Chains A and B, each alone.
Chain A
Amino acid sequence: MKNIFNNLKRIIGISLVLFTISSCEDFLNPEPTSATSGETFFKTKADFDLAIQNMYDGIAGLNSTQSNDNHALQVEFYVTEMRSDNTETKASEGEAAQFENYTLESTNGIVDDYYRSYYDVIFRANTILDNAAVLATPEPYEAEAKFVRAYAYFNLVRLFGEIPLVDRVIGISDTDIQFTRVAVSEIYSLIENDLLTSISGLDNTYQNRASKAAAQTLLAKVYLTQGINYLDAQTLCESVMSSGFTLESNFKNIFYNELNNEIIFAISYVSDNSADSQNFSAEWLNAVGRTSGVNYVTADAALFLDANGGDRTMYSYRIDSGQPTKKQVVKYLPNGDTGLGIAATSSNPVLAGNDWIVLRYADVLLLHAEAILAGGNTTTAQAALNSFQLVRDRAGLTTPVTEITRQSLLDERRAELVFENHRFFDLVRFGEAQNVLSAFSTATGGSFNATDLLLPIPQREINLSLGQLNQNQGYN
């Protein structure tokens, strides 16, 4: 009897200890009630709507002059247009001049800014995708997040080549995912799958958010970039061409009548609003922004536009009135130009509201002709001629075109889309980047090599990876 009693005491004692331990866990990990956390945030559609906005905020980037902030799209012109024959810095100074001189260092802060910004956008999209299962109908949110993820990866893979493939939210210990570069083909297969999901799950409601037409245009460009599926690319373009978009009749209005009928996908900015404005428009002027002037028009581009731009030339570049030997971009002016009939878009030019156009209808028409050209040298197919002629007619170049060559198409894309961050990618896609840029670099005293077609992996990432990430060729 005494034995049983003793045992009972022991059992109660042990249970008490167990109970104490388990209640301790609850006590130490309370559910926060007054603050939101990532783990408990996503419950309703309204929460996901906020997360969707958060993705576009990530692409728009911060309007700040802090080099540690993520500026994303606002520094894209450095890594694209300023590496082409279209633009350069005004003073050829500092790390901004590494782009035009083809002397990029792996420590370049702007390259690092773009890289981490776009992986941040991918993180924002992955956050939605990882949580979407709590919704009864997650499909529209997944379709939109996948478009944004595909858009970010498409830019990164074209700029950096092999890159880490992060297709879910990763933690601090997932260093293998964070620091393993995967084959370009693997990145493209994620992009294609994401865009196919977007095409089936989206409609054409928005121009400043993902849409079916934006996903179709992007997928056509993804196919053309890889030199595959020309027929699918053509069909995708034709589907966009029957979706109600039109060319803006006046070239100037593409940029100064925001969200007009030519816009397929734009990133919106709000003027005079420090949280939602942009400063790249001011940076392109003479010491209006923080720099003395970047993304200035090269002599090569000005000569080209004079010869090939038609009505587009006067709305593409102008003489810098503060330094008449230099030329500035007219697309995206923040403080207007009375001579050209362009009103200021904001009272403070460094808080500019000019939207950035990612995809517009003229791009689709020229991609349509490119898809029909299908990697060949010439085409006389009427469908291609029609699309090509529409773009030229708007520029006042109404002489009927009877044949499109690779070169004439590449030239038309330069004249139409100059200073819109297309040129570098177009040169690479047409296989002309090495020829054109080495000749350009020789003329301007730069030091272009074939390895300059890829950006360096930021040194900060390589350091963080403890040497696991390897550098692109041509960089130390």
Chain B
Amino acid sequence: MKKQFKNIIWLPVLALLAFTVQSCDDFEQFEPAGANSKADQTPPMASFSYSQGQGDGEVWKDYSFANLSTSATTYMWIFEDGTTSSEVDPTFTFPGEGEYTVVLTASDALGIESVFSDVIDVVEPELPEAIVPEILEASFEDNSLADGSGDGRDSWRNSALGGVIQITSSPVQNGSQAAKFPSSGDRIAYQELIVSPNSDYILTYYYTLKTNNPGSVTVSVLADGGHIDLAAALAAKIEDFEGTDQTSSSDYVQGNISFNSGANSVISILITNQGEEARVDNFSIAAQ
């Protein structure tokens, strides 16, 4: 009987011991930090992109930042001058042109941090200025090409549109030579120029006509280049000027053509004459 009683006492003691050992294991499972804790499965990854302000005045200094970080809850932006921001997508105005470093630190609620930095090259956008094209052999002079060659009309040939012009040495408006278009009207001058689209230009030249028969000389500005058919070329006219001043066969008269290049990065100049011998000299072009 006494033995039985002893056993009854021992059982709860053993059970208590077993429980204690067991609960120690449980306890360790919930230990907050240490060798047995799990790593952050989705650590933050910092990243951003940016865009420059577009508009008038100083807007080019204003940059908008787009936060592309993942798995983060708080952000710290540091700009080169020490300014900080904790916004998700901040904006920042740089003092002027130059290279600036921007640092973004993204962190999650476990305190894990990720740092991303980028160097931003702030440049004021240049105002696009219209290309001023160069007219080759603009005054029909010999050896006036860049390499010192040329017969004064090499840059003006287009045999698909008409015969090559002749060269005259008197009268001239500039230099020692001018272009000559015989009265038969079957010769043309043609040259393609590279221009800025949608820009205003003024083309200036000088002409004179003989006075025996009524006649004229027409300078046309054509859309695009590559013209190989006279009718189609004239149909692509942007602007033209028909010179009809026959007051004197030796005095030159100025011709001006104002035009807008429209949706073209190339335009062509085409010169034709009608009814009487014509002379043309000294072309120039300017952006307006």
Contact = CB atoms under 8 A, between A and B. Distances in A.
A449 B54 contact: no
Interface stretch (A151-159, A180-188, A317-325, A379-387): A379-387
A451 B263 contact: no
Contact of A383 (B70, B88, B198): B198
Interface stretch (A87-95, A231-239, A293-301): A231-239
A449 B262 contact: no
At the interface, is chain B mostly helix, strand, loop or mixed?
Answer: loop
A377 B54 contact: yes
A372 interface: yes
Contacts of A435: 53, 64, 91
B68 interface: yes
Contacts of A384: 198
B67 interface: yes
A432 B67 CA distance: 16
A450 B263 contact: no
A434 B66 CA distance: 8
A405 B55 contact: yes
A225 to B, nearest CB: 15
Contacts of B128: 374, 376
A432 B62 CA distance: 12
Contacts of A372: 197-198
Contact of B70 (A235, A405, A431, A473): A473
Interface in B57-78: 64-68, 70
Contacts of A451: 66-68
A230 B196 CA distance: 12
B260 A383 contact: yes
A379 to B, nearest CB: 7
Given A406-B55, A431-B51, A450-B67, A381 B89 contact: no
Contacts of A376: 128
Interface string A436-459: 001000000000011101000000
B56 interface: yes
Contact of B89 (A231, A383, A434): A434
Contacts of A473: 68, 70
A257 interface: no
A103 to B, nearest CB: 14
B166 interface: no
A185 B198 CA distance: 28
A234 B55 contact: no
B59 to A, nearest CB: 8
Contacts of B264: 231
Contacts of B54: 377, 406, 430-432
Contacts of A405: 55-56
A407 B263 contact: no
A430 B53 CA distance: 10
B265 interface: yes
Interface in B22-59: 49, 51, 53-56
B89 A450 contact: yes
Contacts of B68: 450-451, 473
B246 to A, nearest CB: 34
Contacts of A407: 55
A231 B263 contact: yes
Nearest to A371: B263
Contact of B197 (A231, A378, A431, A449): A231
B198 A381 contact: yes
Nearest to B47: A473
Nearest to A472: B68
A449 B198 contact: no
Nearest to A239: B263
Given A449-B89, A450-B65, 16 more contacts: A231-B263, A231-B265, A235-B263, A381-B199, A383-B262, A383-B263, A430-B54, A434-B66, A435-B64, A450-B49, A450-B66, A450-B68, A450-B88, A450-B89, A473-B68, A473-B70
Interface of B: 49, 51, 53-56, 64-68, 70, 88-89, 91, 125, 128, 197-199, 260, 262-265
